[in-house]
Amino acid sequence: MINLAALLVTAFWLAGALVTRRAPDPRTARRTATVVATIAVATAIAAQWLPGRGPVLLVISIAGLLAVAVAPAATHPPSAIGRTMGLLATSTLSLAITNDFVAIALWALSAWLMYSAVRRTPQGPRFLGHHAVSALSFAVGTALVTLDIPLGGLLVLVGVAVRLPLFPLHLWFPSFVSTTPMALVVAFGTTPIAVLSHLEPPGLAVTIGALSALIAALFAATQRNGHQATAYLLMSHAGLVTAGHQSDGPSLWLATTLAGAGLAMTTAATHARRGTLSYTEPLGNLAHTPKLAVSHLVFGLALIGFPLLAAFAPDHLLIEQSLTHADYMWLPLITTIAINGITVLRSFLALFAGTPTPTGERDLTPLENYAITTALTLVTTVGLVPTLLGTPL
């Protein structure tokens, strides 16, 4: 089955990727990409009234808008913006064509696109090692699942556990988030949740997801810089999504992808202004960057399922359903959510408070303001009316 709206959005992203790669400078590339992302978002909004996968398409498009509009010019040359749009195109294309073998091809393609961006960095070999295994496991596992061979589900689980990432196959991820342009990290994280439907055995996937969520939450709470804490927060929520894959994972994926993109991009914007994201040496002052600070906090709170924000309803349902589907897992899930809350407030206070001196940092630029306001509107609207996301798959 082909989803025409997703196909159209894919075409926009691909066209945008080709145009922005040839842009003379990062600012022009960012402006062009933002126009393309706006068209993609408008198309995805229109698709809400069509039968199909409206919510997923909309969330990927808004995550894409955040990625390209908030991407700091200093760390995102036109080639990085172009690759970001290419990655987004692979995500929306997997929505457009629901076929296992297309999914395998897109999985490998997105990993290769990402590798092409990091191959000349110290992270390149580690990324290649992990994602070669991931793509191979996913491909072989999916093929075996179609042949009804039980080992297939386990191989898919290994592939997904590397990609999301889940403990203990996460070793590539924290340094990847710290050193890679954040727009690429966000785009790479938009791989649709449909792949989780093949996970076997489900009980093992839930256990690995819940434990990974808890371990990552504990790691996140003890980090000393913003990049590492963001990396482990994202990893923790990947664990929660996996733990809920049988029941509420899809809704949780939508909420965390949106809020996670916002948190990651505001972290990147702060890093671009300051050059460091140390938690031990406070350098921020929220009086000078109030919108950046507030958006960082609200996206963080939305990610951890704070009331009235995007992930609250999915988190609530995840806990309720974990009592039905996996009654031994509700306690780690609750603990994870509580600890992640501490990490988010710590990040906000460490990055935007603690110093009386004027920082000279600029608050949100018009382009950033546009993208962040759009995303915050969705984050709060979905928080107040969770049923807007509907049934995502």
Binding site for other proteins (CB under 8 A): 170-171, 173-175, 218-219, 221-224, 228, 232, 282, 285-287, 290-291, 294, 301, 306-308, 313, 316-317, 319-321, 323-324, 330-331, 334-335, 337-339, 341-342, 345-346, 349, 352-356, 373, 386-387
Please state, in angstroms and rounded to a whole number, the distance separating the CA atoms of residues 114 and 63: 17
Q: Which residues of 373-387 are buried (b: 16+ CB within 10 A; e: fewer)?
A: ebbbebbeebbeebe
Q: Which residues of 18-49 are buried (b: 16+ CB within 10 A; e: fewer)?
A: ebbbebeebebbbebbbbbbbbbbebbeebee
Minimum CB distance to other proteins, residue 295 (Å): 9
Minimum CB distance to other proteins, residue 138 (Å): 23
Closer residue to other proteins in complex, CB, 17/220: 220
Minimum CB distance to other proteins, residue 380 (Å): 9
Closer residue to other proteins in complex, CB, 200/315: 315
Contact 138, 156 (CB under 8 A): yes
Please state, in angstroms and rounded to a whole number, the distance separating the CA atoms of residues 11 and 94: 13
Please state, in angstroms and rounded to a whole number, the distance separating the CA atoms of residues 186 and 167: 20
Minimum CB distance to other proteins, residue 21 (Å): 31
Q: How far is CA 149 from CA 133, 146, 156, 195, 203, in A?
A: 20, 8, 12, 17, 18
Closer residue to other proteins in complex, CB, 228/270: 228
Closer residue to other proteins in complex, CB, 129/150: 129
Closer residue to other proteins in complex, CB, 7/218: 218
Closer residue to other proteins in complex, CB, 188/306: 306
Closer residue to other proteins in complex, CB, 98/374: 374
Give the bridge partners for 284, in sequence order: 354
Minimum CB distance to other proteins, residue 248 (Å): 9
Minimum CB distance to other proteins, residue 247 (Å): 9
Tell me the torsion sign for CA atoms 338, 344, 348, 351. Answer: positive
Phi-psi region of 148 (alpha: psi -120 to 50; beta: other; left: phi over 0): left
Minimum CB distance to other proteins, residue 27 (Å): 24
